[in-house]
């Protein structure tokens, strides 16, 4: 049997798509979300169970051992932003989509855990948790399409990291198909387990290069009794950091979100989605969106928020603020924040950076780097926003107003990346805070990652995937 026939035998004929199939359209799996790369898959394979994933991996591994230049790219919702989950252009990669594996396997209320398959869409997981009376706190703009397998693959962050941590912190156990096609059943719901190396952590953030995650046991939290959202105008990034300090002090563990948004980023939302009615953005360089989740009641949350905002107004780090009156207004404010990514996509190409820096250094980083860029590219526009509470900025560079976006990318991307990443290094930051490395940043790691760390990563890859079967060319070149 050739490989395609073996794959059909493993998952069923209807679940293997190739370019030779009449009428088959593989583009949804081959095109990355930002539409920067269009690959070509040997086949799109849609397993429905962990055993089927293992059979697929074994079949491709055997073909590779027999000399065929084939490999596997795992994919979830295909919302990744670093070209990590689409095939390359060679036509030799099997695109393994986990989308059919979307079941909730179990909820353990006493242990505060939920076990789900990797293809479960994040929003569905949030809803199942909510229906059971709990909170699953991972939340990001792509939550209607991204999957828990992809969230684990990229160690996604999102808007509540300041309180609940990244996906890594939310995960207690994994089920993984190894590069040899074996199944590791590590779905423990344990918060303590010191029986040696933490294998779970190896697969989280590995972007499908070490194993295929097929299921995960994730943490649940009690639903807060009240949740309040405020939108504040702040006069500078220094003041935004000062406000963050005050928010930690006054809200404690209640502070669940702290987002910063630059004026130009908000002007794009206003331009492309005028129906969203962005508040306070016209007269201030920065706005902050912050959230207080309270375990007592709404009155208590409101009183805390009022004290915080009074103090902030007194100290001059806030010039104006609105507090959402109800849940629907709060959702509206978050929707504005989450629409920035789409609004910049509408505006045209830009040079994206997902960076993290110690919070204390962010104001200096922004002032210095903005000035360097303005000197190099007169008229350049900065689409700055991000999770300031986590020291994570989406520091994106948009072409000057009348410039051609494609030409701007071609002429400036490399230079702008170097300039920004050198600044990140100088300020002891990371060139990828939450989106991962993928193909987009793989060639940057030798310059911006500690050489000893990189050497250990290579050793791990060789140990777990010696034949480079899984997502070759991503994370490590």
Ligand X SMILES: Cc1cc2nc3c(=O)[nH]c(=O)nc-3n(C[C@H](O)[C@H](O)[C@H](O)COP(=O)(O)OP(=O)(O)OC[C@H]3O[C@@H](n4cnc5c(N)ncnc54)[C@H](O)[C@@H]3O)c2cc1C
Binding segment toward ligand X, per CB under 6 A, in 19-27, 124-132, 148-156, 406-414: 148-156
Among 26, 56, 81, 399, binds ligand X (CB under 6 A): 81
Binding segment toward ligand X, per CB under 6 A, in 403-411, 413-421, 423-431, 433-441: 433-441
| 471 contributes a contact to ligand X by CB under 6 A | yes
Distance of CA 276 to the CA centre of its chain: 24
Q: In whole angstroms, what is the distance from residue 60 CA to residue 83 CA?
A: 22
- Closer Cβ to ligand X, 335 or 415, answer by number: 335
- Closer Cβ to ligand X, 231 or 385, answer by number: 385
Among 63, 120, 204, 212, binds ligand X (CB under 6 A): 212
- Closer Cβ to ligand X, 151 or 178, answer by number: 151
- Closer Cβ to ligand X, 48 or 377, answer by number: 48
CB of 44 to ligand X, least distance (A): 12
- Closer Cβ to ligand X, 142 or 241, answer by number: 142
Rg (alpha carbons) of the chain, rounded to whole number: 23
Residues forming beta bridges with residue 432, ordered by sequence position: 354
The pairing of strands 320-323 and 104-108 is unpaired
Structure tokens at 429: 């930051």
- Closer Cβ to ligand X, 294 or 465, answer by number: 465
| 157 contributes a contact to ligand X by CB under 6 A | yes
User: Where in 113-198 does DSSP place strands (E)?
Assistant: 113-117, 134-135, 171-178, 183-186
| 146 contributes a contact to ligand X by CB under 6 A | yes
Q: In whole angstroms, what is the distance from residue 394 CA to residue 399 CA?
A: 16
Q: In whole angstroms, what is the distance from residue 408 CA to residue 380 CA?
A: 10
Residues forming beta bridges with residue 117, ordered by sequence position: 215
Q: Report which of 347, 353, 359 is spatially closest to residue 266, judged by C-alpha positions.
A: 347
- Closer Cβ to ligand X, 213 or 377, answer by number: 213
Q: Report which of 367, 407, 359, 360 is spatially closest to residue 384, judged by C-alpha positions.
A: 367
* Residue whose token pair is 């760390």: 453
| 186 contributes a contact to ligand X by CB under 6 A | no
Q: Report which of 317, 344, 322, 327 is spatially closest to residue 398, judged by C-alpha positions.
A: 344
Binding segment toward ligand X, per CB under 6 A, in 59-67, 141-149, 217-225, 284-292: 141-149
| 181 contributes a contact to ligand X by CB under 6 A | no
Question: What is the contact surface with ligand X in residues (CB under 6 A)?
Answer: 33, 73-81, 84-85, 98, 118, 140-142, 146-147, 149-151, 153-154, 156-158, 207-208, 212-213, 341, 434-435, 438, 471, 474
């Amino acid at each position: 049997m050739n490989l395609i026939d073996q794959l059909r035998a493993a998952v069923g004929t209807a679940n293997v798509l190739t370019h030779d199939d009449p009428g088959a359209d593989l583009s949804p799996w081959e095109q990355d979300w930002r539409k920067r790369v269009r690959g070509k898959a040997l086949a799109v394979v849609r397993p429905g169970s962990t055993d089927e994933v293992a059979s697929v991996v074994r079949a491709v591994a055997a073909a590779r051992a027999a000399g065929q230049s084939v490999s596997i790219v795992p994919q979830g919702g295909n919302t990744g932003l670093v070209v990590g989950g689409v095939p390359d252009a060679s036509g030799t990669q099997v695109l393994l989509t986990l989308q059919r594996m979307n079941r909730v396997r179990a909820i353990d209320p006493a242990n505060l855990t939920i076990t789900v398959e990797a293809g479960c869409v994040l929003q569905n997981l949030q809803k199942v948790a909510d229906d059971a009376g709990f909170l699953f706190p991972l939340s990001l703009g792509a939550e209607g399409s991204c999957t828990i397998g992809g969230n684990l693959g990229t160690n996604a962050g999102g808007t509540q990291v300041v309180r609940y941590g990244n996906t890594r912190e939310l995960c207690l156990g994994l089920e993984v198909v190894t590069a040899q096609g074996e199944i590791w059943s590590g779905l423990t719901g344990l918060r303590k387990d010191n029986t040696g190396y933490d294998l779970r952590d190896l697969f989280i953030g590995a972007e499908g290069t070490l194993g295929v995650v097929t299921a995960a046991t994730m943490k649940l939290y009690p639903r807060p009794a009240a949740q309040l959202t405020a939108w504040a105008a702040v006069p500078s990034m220094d003041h935004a950091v000062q406000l963050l300090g005050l928010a930690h002090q006054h809200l404690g563990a209640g502070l669940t979100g702290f987002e910063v948004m630059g004026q130009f980023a908000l002007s794009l939302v206003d331009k492309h989605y005028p129906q969203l009615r962005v508040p306070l953005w016209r007269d201030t360089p920065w706005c902050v969106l912050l959230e207080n989740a309270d375990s007592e009641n709404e009155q208590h949350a409101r009183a805390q928020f009022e004290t915080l905002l009074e103090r902030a107004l007194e100290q001059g780090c806030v010039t104006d603020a609105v507090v959402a009156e109800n849940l629907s207004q709060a959702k509206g404010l978050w929707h504005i924040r989450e629409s920035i990514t789409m609004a910049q996509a509408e505006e045209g190409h830009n040079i994206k950076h997902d960076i993290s820096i110690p919070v204390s250094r962010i104001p200096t980083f922004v002032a210095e780097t903005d000035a360097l860029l303005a000197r190099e590219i007169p008229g350049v526009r900065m689409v700055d926003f991000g999770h300031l509470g986590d020291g994570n900025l989406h520091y994106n560079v948009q072409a000057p107003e009348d410039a051609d976006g494609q030409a701007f990318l071609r002429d400036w991307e490399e230079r702008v990346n170097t300039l920004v990443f050198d600044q990140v290094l100088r300020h002891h930051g990371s060139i990828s805070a939450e989106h991962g490395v993928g193909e987009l940043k793989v060639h940057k790691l030798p310059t911006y990652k500690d050489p000893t760390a990189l050497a250990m990563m290579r050793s791990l890859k060789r140990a777990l995937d010696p034949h480079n079967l899984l997502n070759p060319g991503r994370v490590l070149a």
